[in-house]
Amino acid sequence: MSLEDEIRQLKEERRAVLLAHNYQRPEVQDLADFVGDSLYLSRKAVEDDRPVIVFAGVRFMAETAKILNPNKTVLLPDLRAGCGLADSITAEQLRTWKEAHPGAVVVAYINTSAEVKAESDYCCTSSNAVKIVSQIPADREILFLPDMFLGDYVRRRTGRAMHLWVGDCPVHTKMRPEQVDHARIEHPGAPIVAHPECGCTSRVLESVDRILSTDGMLRFAEETRAPEVLVATEVGILHRMRRLNPTTRFLPLEPGAICPYMKETDLADIRDSLRLGRWVIDVPPATADRARRSLERMIAA
Ligand code: 13P
Ligand code: SF4
């Protein structure tokens, strides 16, 4: 039996749903029940009624699924699948920051640990950060964490004077303004779409055509009639973009933008995860209860 068939069979036997992020390996995306961005997968984790969730993504995503579904079993197939951005702030650091700004509203990007979410008022993803910040009363001070590029983008879109945590994603930081300039010369007329985590200065974001979450990029891919599109995010997204629209050439702005954490999970890990029931992601109930408030506010927004 092929590895793919083994996984399909085990999924049935265990009554498991396989969720995969847009940056996962192509063969993992192809087997998943649902593929999408962080917000979409959080919603699917709640809507699907199977008792086991296998999360082909990174740890904070599996933790989020567990917080939202305390009675389900959540499995992360490879424990090395962390996130450099989520590691840039600890709950202790956030508590110290909050003490310096009493009464401030804390908005945490979903790329954070469960402990950090428990210290936050709102969660957001790249697809709803602007909406969530816009809904906060204008007289409230805001602490936004941990991605300074996403924070700066939201600050400019909403006009809100937020305090930003100085964190970034090691993959998106690689995207430099000079690469955008170069791409404009090499591919004249080709639209450039970018994820709001892109660095290295916000000039990258100023000079691209569209700033979109990974699902936003997929919608753009379906609709565009441009012969070529340059894509400034992790290269895993190109798989679905090319499937959705085979007539447009989707090219990476930075071919080296490969998230090592997202690529940890392969089909053998997923098969073993289903077969052996590993690795179970648990969040202490007291932390989960506090973190759930900020996530539920995000999902309801
Ligand atoms: P999305 O929410 O756009 O899927 O992004 C998640 C992520 O980790 C980006 O690096
Ligand atoms: Fe984290 Fe960056 Fe990888 Fe996204 S691309 S999971 S933010 S390290």
For ligand 2, is residue 58 a contact (CB within 6 Å)?
yes
- Residues framing ligand 1 (Cβ under 6 A): 22, 37-38, 111, 125-126, 169, 197, 213-214
295 in a structural domain? no
301 in a structural domain? no
Q: Can you tell me which atom of ligand 1 is nearest the CA of 111?
A: 8
Q: Beta strand 105-109 with 142-145: parallel, antiparallel or unpaired?
A: parallel
For residue range 74-133, list pLDDT tens digits in order.
999 999 999 999 999 999 999 999 999 999 999 999 999 999 999 999 999 999 999 999
Q: Assign 201 a pLDDT band (cuts: 50, 70, 90).
A: low
Provide mean pLDDT across the span 211-227: 96
What is the predicted pLDDT for the residue at 206? 79
300 in a structural domain? no
Contact in structure between 134 and 162 (CB atoms under 8 Å): no
- Both 221 and 160 in one domain: the answer is no
- Both 73 and 94 in one domain: the answer is no
What is the predicted pLDDT for the residue at 199? 77
Contacts of 140 (CB under 8 A, 6+ apart): 103, 104, 105
Contact in structure between 7 and 271 (CB atoms under 8 Å): yes
- Both 213 and 277 in one domain: the answer is no
Atom 2 of ligand 1, nearest CA residue: 38
What is the predicted pLDDT for the residue at 200? 58
77 in a structural domain? yes
Quick one: which of 147, 2, 7 has its CA closest to 86? 147
- Both 119 and 51 in one domain: the answer is no
Determine the Cα angle at 17 with ends 13 and 21, to 5°.
145
- The number of domains in the chain is 3
Contacts of 132 (CB under 8 A, 6+ apart): 107, 122, 124, 297, 298, 301
287 in a structural domain? no
Q: Can you tell me which atom of ligand 2 is nearest the CA of 169?
A: 2
Measure 51 CA to ligand 2 centroid, in angstroms: 27
Which range marks the domain in which residue 29 is found? 3-82+262-282
Quick one: which of 89, 138, 135, 131 has its CA closest to 114? 89
- Both 132 and 187 in one domain: the answer is no
Neighbours of 209 (CB within 10 A): 14
Q: Assign 291 a pLDDT band (cuts: 50, 70, 90).
A: very high
| Adjacency order of strands within the sheet including 16-21 | 34-36, 16-21, 52-56, 73-75
Nearest ligand to the CA atom of 22: 1
Rounded Cα distance between 201 and 191, Å, is 20
Tell me if the bond preceding 279 is cis, omega within 30° of 0.
yes
Mean pLDDT for all residues in the chain: 96
Quick one: which of 223, 231, 222 has its CA closest to 190? 231
- Both 150 and 176 in one domain: the answer is no
107 in a structural domain? yes
User: Across the strands, what pairs with 124?
Assistant: 109
Rounded Cα distance between 193 and 199, Å, is 14
At residue 265, does pLDDT exceed 90?
A: yes
Phi, psi of 18, rounded to the nearest 5 degrees: -105, 115
- Both 157 and 202 in one domain: the answer is no
- Both 177 and 160 in one domain: the answer is no
CATH of the domain at 13: 3.40.50.10800
For residue range 48-63, list pLDDT tens digits in order.
999 999 999 999 999 9
292 in a structural domain? no
Quick one: which of 63, 37, 50 has its CA closest to 197? 37
41 in a structural domain? yes
- Both 68 and 91 in one domain: the answer is no
Among 234, 254, 263, which residue has the most ligand 2 atoms within 8 Å of its CB, making it the best to mutate?
234
DSSP secondary structure, 223-290, as one string = H---SEEEEES-TTHHHHHHHH-TTSEEEES-TT---TTTTS--HHHHHHHHHHT-PBP---HHHHHH
What is the predicted pLDDT for the residue at 202? 65
